[in-house]
């Protein structure tokens, strides 16, 4: 019987997910691309990728009931990792071309356009400023990661006064303005960049995440 962590990459129509599947397999996970409810809920880890427009990705996720599945996993302390627009949809809402769409609201914040004086899309390698004690960035605090995006969450306002709740760990990057590059919040983690396209550093990050599932 395999002792490898079982990871589901959520299949909801998002493009180019096979690179994420292959990267997770390379770091030791048993990976399946599926939207099967039982497998999504029972896997050791769930990866939610995303490319394209915020509103379109949210519509596709809602069409297969994914927000409810993700909420059930979080409530049950079962790990979830969002990537790129999959990261963005975990916030309260996104605004693209003046049109607002509701996100999943797991974290406060609004996904908005990067500053006009920045070159967009932000495409290529960039450094990040990891949160102290980060599990995802353990051993790769000084590395660069690969970004492809024109929108991001550029502020953070989280009520950390609730005694029973540890505040999320927020990692920042800069492109025209500071923006959130990653969040780690109990079972829920997400990255604005693409770890599966980030070479050795991205593989190390995925290995850190998969290792936390054991």
- State the catalytic residues: 84, 194, 196
**Long-range contacts of the stretch 103-110 (C-beta < 8 A, 24+):** 103/54, 103/58, 104/58, 104/67, 104/70, 104/71, 106/70, 106/74, 106/185, 106/188, 107/158, 107/168, 107/183, 107/185, 108/156, 108/157, 108/158, 109/153, 109/155, 109/156, 109/157, 109/180, 110/153, 110/155
Residue 150 exposed, middle or buried by CB count within 10 Å (0-12, 13-18, 19+): middle
Task: Specify the DSSP class assigned to residue 203.
Answer: H
Answer whether 125's CB lies under 8 Å from 202's CB: no
CA-to-CA dists, residue 121 to 117, 137, 156, 171, angstroms: 12, 24, 22, 20
Asked whether 110 and 153 are in contact (CB, 8 A), the reply is yes
Length of the chain: 214
């Amino acid at each position: 019987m395999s002792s490898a962590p079982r990871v589901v990459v959520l299949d909801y129509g998002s493009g180019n997910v096979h690179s994420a599947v292959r990267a997770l397999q390379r770091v030791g996970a048993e990976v399946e691309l599926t939207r099967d409810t039982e497998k999504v809920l029972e896997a050791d880890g769930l990866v939610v990728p995303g490319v394209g427009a915020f509103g379109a990705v949210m519509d596709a996720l809602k069409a297969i009931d994914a927000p409810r599945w993700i909420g059930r996993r979080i409530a049950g302390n079962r790990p979830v990792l969002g990537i790129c627009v999959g990261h963005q949809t975990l916030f309260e809402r996104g605004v693209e071309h003046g049109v607002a769409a509701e996100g999943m609201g797991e974290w406060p914040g609004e996904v908005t356009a990067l500053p006009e004086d920045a070159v967009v899309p932000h495409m290529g390698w960039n450094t990040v400023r990891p949160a102290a004690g980060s599990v995802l960035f353990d051993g790769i605090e000084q590395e660069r990661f690969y970004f492809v995006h024109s929108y991001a969450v550029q502020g953070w306002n989280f009520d950390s006064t609730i005694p029973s709740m540890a505040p999320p760990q927020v990692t920042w990057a800069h492109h025209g303005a500071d923006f959130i590059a990653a969040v780690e919040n109990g079972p829920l983690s997400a990255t604005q960049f693409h770890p599966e396209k980030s070479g050795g550093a991205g593989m190390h990050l995925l290995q850190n995440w998969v290792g936390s599932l054991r």
